[in-house]
Structure 1
Amino acid sequence: MTLLSSITTIHLKVYGKVQGVSYRYWVKENAIKLGISGWVKNKDDKTVEIIANGTQAHIDSFIESCNIGSENSEVQKVDILLIDKVGHGGSFPLSDFQILYDNLSDD
């Protein structure tokens, strides 16, 4: 099995008290620790959206941590909207994880 074929990409939507509590920064820190690439951003509906790309084992750990949340967050649920077993074909460098900003206020 090649490294690319073992890469999984997930699309998460996180509900609860996850904006204004540094949740995105916490997600980024955990992603970097796990070697996951992708991005996280606040949505207008008060949720947080995450795209994460990494090995299945690291993605599983990442999903678990997203369900727990940061110290001041209160995660109600995490929906996995998309799972791609092939990955993005290298569209993210494996060491890159970013916080994307909109016109929303920062945490």
Structure 2
Amino acid sequence: MNKAIKLTIHGKVQGVGYRRWFEQQALALELKGYVKNLDSGEVEAVIVGTENQLHAIIQRSYTGPSRAEISKIIQSEFEQAADFVTFQMLR
């Protein structure tokens, strides 16, 4: 059964290719949802997948692309309001 979670990624994550990198990781894991920049400087990702898929993307999220510096990731349950068809990067 699929589960939905929201990640808020803190650190140097904007202007370093983090969203594009995250999108590639999510697509490789066949996740659904989105990733976007927040005005506050963090990156938000809503991801839908199996327990194993979610665990894998969370572990990868701490690495990020080479220029990123992740200080912390806040994880929260997400009420799946809509059925996501694919994974996409939002502006």
Question: Rg larger in 1 or in 2?
Answer: 1
Number of residues of Structure 1 aligned to a counterpart in Structure 2: 91
Which runs of no fewer than 5 residues in structure 1 stay unpaired? 1-5, 102-107
Bigger CA drift: 18-27 or 63-72?
63-72
- Corresponding residue of 1:45: 40
- Report the TM-score when normalising by structure 2: 0.93
RMSD between superposed Cα atoms in Å: 1.5
Q: CA deviation at 1:83?
A: 4.8
CA distance in 1, matches of 2:38, 2:89: 12
Structure 2 portions without partners, runs of 5+: none
Q: Does structure 1 residue 63 correspond to structure 2 residue 58?
A: yes
Shift of 1:99: 0.9
Residue in 2 that maps onto 1:98:
88
TM-score (norm 1): 0.80
